[in-house]
Structure formats: structure tokens, C-alpha cells
Structure 1
């Protein structure tokens, strides 16, 4: 269900406070009976962080809601959103993320990478307060997870990392040779791609 927004609510999102202000109003204007159930919304953002849409994806029970990645991203792709914010309420008022909350976030983050629509935050809200995955560092933690990363993507990442390590080792050996010959640190950095700090830390015996 697409949430109808006023012109005042179609704002440019600068931080989690901005999105909570809107979502709190949406939560409070829902029917009283619905406030006793979990809602899961997706907020689509344009490249300049202006809100394109807010979509109610799922309406669950008092402590759970079912969320399918296809439902989350289909609307975002239709509306040309380049990034999304996830948001759901806890009727109990308890804002601590459950393992299920973390798991669905993990899954949606990985799907977002595949369809090139970044998940930039996940808010858990009540009528009085909220918790932001981005602000608490939980989003960055989940982005490092490989639980839902396809096998072929993991293999590509490992190959890329191995190539980068090999390239770095090669650059270090070349830099050491330059340093032994007395070449200036700045020139060494320029010709090897290493930073000045990395070059300065290299220890060599000059002939």
C-alpha cells in the first residue's frame, strides 16, 4: 500500500531524525487496532535523498511480520529509487533489534547490492522513539556478513582481494628497490601507487 505524502513530507532526508519524524506521524495516524501489529515500510529515495515514496510492504502480528525481498525492491525499481530505508515498528515499545530483524536486514542488504539499490538504514520505531541501524553501527556490521552473499559473488570477491594483495606486494618490492637507490619518497609513492606514509615505513639496507 502506497502511503500518501503531503508536500511537506516529501523532504530531503539528512539524518535518521528526519525519517523518524515522518514515520512517527504515519504510525500515529493509522487506525488504533493496527498500532498493535507490526508494520514494515520501505522508503524510496532519489539520488539527492529526497523521498520518492513510502510503501507499506507488510502488516504482521504483535511481534512479527513477513517480508519478501521481491515486494521490497519491485516498487523501488518501478519508482526509480536509487536507495531505500527500511522501517518497522515494535508495538511493545522495545526498540532492541531481534535476531529476525537483523536477519531480514542482512538479506535485503545483499539483494540491494545485486539490484543496485542500496539499503542505507533500517529504523525500528515506536510512538515515542526509534533506533537506527546506521547510527548504531549495526548496518555496517551487517554489510560485512556473507550469509546471503551468492557463492559466485564470494568467489569474485576472493579473486579480487587476492589480486589486490599480489599487486600491493609487487608495489612494495619495487618501492624498496627505489628506496635502496636513494630515490625521493614522493617520487617512489608517485611511481608505485603507495602512500607517502607507506613508503616512509619501508625499511631497507642501502648498498
Structure 2
């Protein structure tokens, strides 16, 4: 979202008026449903609902929105940071280049929809191969261990174990990816 399209950017008087205009768009039933929220929270919820209304999501536990546009794909995962980082790592292993935005819980995918579909599921490898890929990640990007004060001094085997235990969550990521159904915007 650019600053010019963000209704909450600018001087307080301008922001307040824009917030009121958006609040008016809420249906009375929606206002009562979320009357425990303050005005800015209710407006932000309205904007989110509007943004995601193009996705026909029925089962929130397995379906995830995939926003398809001409230049990029955006996969909204809506899960914890460890799982999102793991999915990004698995996509990278499969040759799917992504940019992670943890604030929005979204992976921006740098591939066409066809290429993404063709590589879907190609991260299914053995534990030995997985450990080797993690070791390669550590060797190519030692800063991945930055969350642990002493990890850089450990042998590579233990560094790999620390990443698997504290930085990644492979079990949950594999479960989520196995059950995930992508819902494209209409």
C-alpha cells in the first residue's frame, strides 16, 4: 500500500476525516458486530474484508488466498513465523523464488502461475537431503544463525539441529502444505 492510497497517512485532521468516511461505509450490522473495537480497528477490519472479498474461501483451515496478477503472485499463509520461514525455505529448495513479508504473512512469488503450479510439491525430500540443504543455507548465509548467541561456534551438525528446532518448523509446514488448497482471486 503506498502512502497516497493509505487513508491513515497524513496530518491528524486529514486522517480523522478519512477515517470517518470509511466508517460510514460499514453497514450498521457490521458496526454492531465489532462495537468492541475502536474506530480505527473497525476501519482496518473493513479494509481487510474488502481486500479479501475477491477470494471464495469456505474452509479457513486448509484454503489459502493466492493473489494472481500480471507481474507477481502473493500467497497469504496466515500462520506463525517459523512455519512461514520454513515454507519459504522449501519453496527456495523447489526453485520458487520468494520474498517474505512477515508483517502481512505473505510470500511474494517471483514466478508465473504456471511455473508455480508445476513446481508445487517438489520439496518432498528425505531428512538427509533436508539436512544437507540446511547446511548449505548456513554456509551461504551464516546470519541465519543470528537468533542464537552461541550457535556460530557450534559444529555444523548442531547448527543444523538448532535451526530445525528453533528457527524452522518442518513438521507443521509439511502438514500445512499437504492440506493447503490455493484459492485464486476471481
Normalising by structure 2, report the TM-score. Answer: 0.29
Relative contact order higher in (CA < 8 Å, ≥ 6 apart): 2
Q: Looking at CA atoms only, which structure, 1 or 2, has the larger radius of gyration?
A: 1
Q: Name whichever structure is richer in strand by fraction.
A: 1
Q: Name whichever structure is richer in helix by fraction.
A: 2
